[in-house]
Amino acid sequence: EVELLESGGGFVQPGGSLRLSCAASGFSIGNFAMSWVRQTPGKGLEWVSSISATGERTYYTETVKGRFTISRDNSKNTVELEMNSLKDDDTALYYCAKEPVLYYYDNWVDPWGQGTQVTVSS
């Protein structure tokens, strides 16, 4: 069964850092791009970042560029999201999700993990 399990969320003060991890099972992530999508009650679902299958291309939504870094270790079947200079607006449930092809483009994401909560507050 294809599964994704996120970890690393928590409570952090503005300006702080967190590192999220996504462990995949049931498939090899090396054949697929991977993405992070976040969800808040007020703003709904928002795509955050994606990384191509081999890691040579990374993509970010404008609001996190320069603060977040996505990476992957295909040998460990994991994807990570390093989040720095966190702001209140980054508070959300962060989902890891699988893209169906090598690169992030006009496609769907499925499946999604269960999410890890990030709360940024003073």
Partner 1 sequence: QSVVTQPPSASATPGQTVTISCSGSSSNVGSNYVYWYQQIPGTAPKLVIFRNNQRPSGVPDRFTGSKIGNSASLAISGLRSEDEAAYYCAAWDDTLKGRVFGGGTKLTVL
Q: Summarize as ranges the residues that interact with partner 1 (CB under 8 A).
A: 35, 37, 44-47, 59, 61, 95, 104-115
Closest contact distance (angstroms) between CB of 48 and partner 1 is: 10
Q: In degrees rounded to 5, what are phi and psi of residue 23? A: -105, 125
Can you spell out the DSSP letters for 57-116?
-EEE-GGGTTTEEEEEETTTTEEEEEE-S--GGG-EEEEEEE-SSSS-SS-----B---E
On whether the CB atoms of residues 34 and 87 are closer than 8 A, the answer is: no
Closest contact distance (angstroms) between CB of 3 and partner 1 is: 11
C-beta closer to partner 1: residue 49 or 78:
49
Closest contact distance (angstroms) between CB of 5 and partner 1 is: 11
C-beta closer to partner 1: residue 41 or 75:
41
C-beta closer to partner 1: residue 109 or 120:
109
